[in-house]
Structure 1
Amino acid sequence: MWTEILVGIVALLAGIALGFFIARRYMMTYLKKNPPINEQMLKMMMMQMGMKPSQKKINQMMSAMNKQTGK
């Protein structure tokens, strides 16, 4: 009786932990393949804000964002 409940609880906890790590790994590989922002998006955002984007400024902002995310 108690062993069945204990096995069920252990299996539930193992499933939750395994699901968390699988989901985390999937999201990390997804974000590596599809970064949330790229140079074109940054250029469009700067133009919408009324700034004239130069390639130097775009490169500086991209390197700052990459440094912040740990790439």
Structure 2
Amino acid sequence: MWELVLVGILALLAGVALGFFIARKYMMNYLKQNPPINEQMIRVMMMQMGMKPSQKKINQMMQAINKQMSSK
């Protein structure tokens, strides 16, 4: 009986470890394909919209994005 409990606990621990590494690999690939937005991307976006990107505006947009992401 106790062998069955021991096997169950070991299988659970192995599943948790395997799930962690699979999720980590998935997130690494996702972030490689879809990098988070940075100042250079904001600068290009503003130039495409016909705006002159000043560092102050870029900093304000970065702060707004970071604030919105941290509130989720």
After superposition, the CA RMSD in angstroms is 2.2
Percent of paired sites with the same residue: 65
The aligned residue for residue 12 of structure 1 is 12
In 1, Cα distance between the equivalents of 2:20 and 2:6? 21
State TM-score, norm by structure 1: 0.58
**CA distance in 2 between partners of 1:49 and 1:34 (Å):** 26
3-state SS of 1:49 partner: helix
Q: TM-score, normalised by structure 2?
A: 0.58
Give the total of aligned pairs. Answer: 49
Q: CA deviation at 1:37?
A: 1.7
Which aligned segments of 4 or more residues in structure 1 are displaced greater than 2 angstroms?
Answer: 38-41, 46-51
Residue 27 of structure 1 aligns with which residue?
A: 27
- Structure 2 spans left out of the alignment, 5+ residues: 47-52, 59-72
Structure 1 unaligned spans of 5+: 52-71
